[in-house]
Amino acid sequence: MRRTVLAGIVLTPVLTAVMTACGVDQPPAKPLACVGDGGSLALVIGARSNSPAPVISPELNALIRKVLMARHSVYAVRLDGDPQPIYSTRFSSTAANTPALEASVNRHVTDISAAINAQAKAVKAEADVLKALEVAARMAGEGGSIVVVDSALSTMGDLNFTQDGVLDADPDDLTDHLAGGKLLPDLTGRRVLFDGLGVAADPQVDLPPRVSENLGQIWTKAATAAGAACAEITTGPGRPSAMPGLPPVETIAMPTPTPTRSCGDVVLQNAGDVGFIRGKADFRHPAAATATLRGLAPDLTRANRPVELIGTTSSEGGDAINRPLSQARADRVKEILVSLGVPENKIIARGVATDWPDHVDDTLPGGRLDPAKANQNRKVVIRREQCQKP
């Protein structure tokens, strides 16, 4: 089988979709801001369905060699439904000079490459990223680094993005939920890099930009809450091919766009484009919010009928906080619609907090907030006359 060699790491075509052929000059590796300042390194390799084949970038190759040249160890963890170590040999060398140390490093890199090629392919269905981080944290040790070479689209465990509303949940809410339930791995003092976060392969659909941004915030905030000294993200390549013949991984549904129909209720979900910063009446994505409302404004203007904007909230904070917050959010949507030409005297805005028929129970046992259900409760409803039945 043909092999591809990149700065010492060897990956067969089974494990790599986008690599540079042997003998071709490599671009200089850029230093990574977070990882690699000391200690051992644990690689979390996601060679699994719905994600592209893992790629060892020039930057990551440089980091691997830097760690070994500092006489620390490099380990590897398989990321699937039951993450396990696939390379756990400590690096040691008695080399008394740099050439001898480099020779030891090269031999160790060959061993790591062989282990990744032979064992990184998924064995169990699904992907449990939190558990993989827990395994990697034990191997890297405090002061070490963890690099997750994967989309980080977890489909099982305590952070499961196939569950309705989790991918769009407020990152702070989700982090508080995981930390409050003691569901986070101990990353104290570790440095964490998510390499290729959000980059998917068929049949998983691409993540819209705002969803990809939210995913990144979820993981960096979760890592920081778990004690990580720092957490960063590097972007992966464009959409590569999926890896064949591996255990299945459930696909994750993307949020549906706000409908632009000309009658009936239109729900502006907090998880969608017209979402708000936690505890504020400021849009998370102002340009996207304005674009969505611009698509609704012509029908609202042409109809020349009253339009009601109803703001609702989660149960967190109580009515004294949530009622004025829900009012402020409804008023903010009104302000944008008026700027887009909808007559102000045709719009009524009111905030009802949790006093709404569709409000769902968003508290967990012990009183903790359920992040996904809380996000379902945070919305502004555009209420117009109902559509006529055919």
How far is it, in rounded angstroms, from Cα 129 to Cα 227? Answer: 17
**pLDDT, tens digit, 9 for 90 and up, residues 180-233:** 999 999 999 999 999 999 999 999 998 988 889 999 999 999 999 999 999 999
pLDDT for the residue numbered 23: 28
pLDDT for the residue numbered 322: 94
Q: Enter the pTM of the model.
A: 0.84
pLDDT for the residue numbered 367: 81
Q: Which residues of the chain have pLDDT under 50?
A: 1-28
pLDDT for the residue numbered 18: 29
How far is it, in rounded angstroms, from Cα 153 to Cα 130? Answer: 11
Pair of tokens at residue 14: 């089974």
pLDDT for the residue numbered 237: 59
> Domains of the chain: which residue ranges?
4-234, 266-383
pLDDT for the residue numbered 65: 94
pLDDT for the residue numbered 389: 62
Q: Which CATH number fits domain 266-383: 3.80.30.20, 3.40.50.720, 3.40.50.300, 3.30.1330.60?
A: 3.30.1330.60
**pLDDT, tens digit, 9 for 90 and up, residues 240-278:** 777 889 999 999 998 776 666 666 788 898 877 888 888
